[in-house]
Structure 1
Amino acid sequence: MSDQRPSDDRLFATISATWPAAATVEAGPWLLREGRGGGKRVSAASAIGAWQEDDISAAEKAMRLMGQVPLFTLRPGDAALDAQLEARGYKAVDHTVIRAVRARDLTDQPLPRVTAFTIWEPLAIMREIWETGGIGERRQAIMDRVAQPKTGVFGRVSDSPGGTAFCAIHDGICMLHGLEILPHQRKKGLGGWMMRAAAFWAVDNGADWLAILVTKANVGGNALYASLGMEIVGEYHYRILTEPDES
């Protein structure tokens, strides 16, 4: 088991493997993603080589041909691209941090009975909870195409369904996506127990680390993950083209 903090390359490879685009293509200096309505993470282009300004125009054209708004992921080393996109009218959105903890560190407490379970395929109630939280059919399709090992996490509180999440492992990192707690079941500690259930599953399936993505604006989420010892180990944001209204 490795105690070395995961590198940026390892973290971003894990994001791609555990929440994959419907299709990807390398085009010049870009990795282009086809999201099919699955959200920014599976639709944004990212730089994989040296680029020139004309290459940005080519990427924009390719994304439009896929029926997608021009959108890029920016990592800390992409400062020049970030500035160029800003100059072209792109808006910065969804500043996101990657938080991680050694998975074994969250297995120090036994799970309360009938509080959190790992299960795949998802139960119907799990899919309903995702739907309630805005994770609809197209995002759930992403989970379905992820390679094993993967699992859902089902949480219960007050003798009723409370929440759900999705986990998958790549290169020793278990990344948790789609954590949703029903509104009337929040602030009861369920999120923490679900994270611990994910950690037990991660350790049982050979993962060293448990990681999650959370926007900087999500104050409650960041407070929860920090309380579990999940430190910030990486970050990224998007730039999306805000085109003038043609009406």
Structure 2
Amino acid sequence: MTRPIHLPDAAKLTEVCEATWPPAAKTALGAWIIRDGQGGGNRVSAATEAWPVTDADLPVAERAMAELGQVPLFQIRVGDDKLDALLEAHGYVVRDPVNLWAAAADKLAAAPIPRGTVYTMWPPMELVRDIWADGGIGPARQAVMERARGEKTAILARAGDHPGGAAYAAIHDGVAMVHALYVKPAMRRQGVGGLMVRAAAKWALGQGASVISLFATQGNHAANPLYADLGFTRVGHYHYRVREAG
């Protein structure tokens, strides 16, 4: 009998995300961890608290992010309730609540993948980069992938005779995480997203990872049901806070 896989918790997946989708630089500054995202998106740009902060600490983080040319942005993880309340009191509003999903890689890889429908490679071929660019995953986000150390792969899916989508996956500490999953609009509702996730799971198993994971904003009403249908378990969540405009 196969022993059940213990799925990682939210804290572990946050660690995996940082390793597989890393900022350009990370600096400890007083009570904060400041990230230089260089245009790579919220996950590589948001500040987090290193230990409990006070009102007096907030300007330190705001100045540091402004000096990097970034809008002050904070990630609120499980256990950050006091930080969440402090930021709300200073006019910061919630942005992009995110679900964290995980599954045993062998269960997803067990489903057959039709021959000639999905390919894995690193570095990404130009067709993959073009698909990402079409989906708003441009040079700054592709640079994030290049920075990741360890095993990683690009994924290309086809639907019939046409390119259907692209994704990126990487591994940290036995856990694979899928990022930058994009399905071309004309190829949606044809199972392309599911194919890429299963291909990522199969690739991850081959690299020695036992768990496959990914993130999705709670407002993504296509991705979250797909991941639930594929057999993922929602293991946590987080959100960001940004100062309200005006």
TM-score range for the pair, normalised by the shorter chain length: over 0.9
Q: Secondary structure at the match of 2:222?
A: helix
**In the alignment, what sits opposite 1:118?**
120
Aligned partner of 1:131 in structure 2 is 133
Unmatched tracts of structure 2, length 5 or more? none
Structure 1: 5+ residue runs without aligned partners? none
Q: Which residue of structure 2 aligns with residue 218 of structure 1?
A: 220
CA contact (8 A) 2:52 2:83 kept: no
Which runs of 4 or more aligned residues in structure 1 lie more than 3 Å from their structure 2 counterparts after TM superposition? none
The answer as to whether partners of 2:92 and 2:242 remain within 8 angstroms in 1 is yes
Q: How does 1:201-212 map to 2 (within 5 A)?
A: 201-212=203-214
Amino acid at match of 1:167: A
Q: How many aligned positions are there?
A: 244
1:182 paired residue among 160, 181, 184: 184
Q: Percent identity?
A: 45
1:76-121 CA-to-partner distances (Å, cap 9, x unmatched) read 2111111110111111010001101000001212210111111111
Aligned counterpart for 2:110 among listed residues 108, 111, 125: 108
Alignment partner of 1:219: what SS?
Answer: coil
- CA drift at 1:2: 7.3
Task: Please say if 1:54 is aligned against 2:36.
Answer: no
SS of the aligned residue for 1:165 comes to strand
Instruction: Note the aligned Cα RMSD (angstroms).
Output: 1.1
Distance 1:227 1:60 in 2: 41
User: TM-score of the superposition, structure 1-length normalised?
Assistant: 0.96
**1:31 equivalent in alignment to 2:19:** no
Which of 164, 171, 176 aligns to 1:162? It is 164
**8 Å CA contact 1:10, 1:171 repeated in 2:** no
**What is residue 6 of structure 1 aligned with on the other side?**
8
Q: Offset of 1:130 from its aligned partner?
A: 0.5
Say if 2:131 and 2:184, in contact at 8 Å, map to a contact too: yes
| Secondary structure of the corresponding residue to residue 82 of structure 1 | helix
Report the equivalent of 1:192: 194
Contact 1:2 1:208 in 2 (8 A): no
Which secondary structure does the structure 1 equivalent of 2:239 belong to? strand
Could you say if the C-alpha distance between residues 58 and 2 of structure 1 is closer, same or farther in structure 2, counting changes exceeding 3 Å? farther
- State the Cα distance separating 1:10 from its structure 2 match: 1.7
Q: Quick one: which amino acid aligns to residue 166 of structure 1?
A: Y
1:48-70 deviation per Cα after TM superposition (whole angstroms, max 9, x unaligned): 11211111111111111111111
Match runs of 1:74-85 below 5 Å: 74-85=76-87
Which amino acid in 2 is paired with 1:209? Answer: V
Matched, 1:238 2:234: no
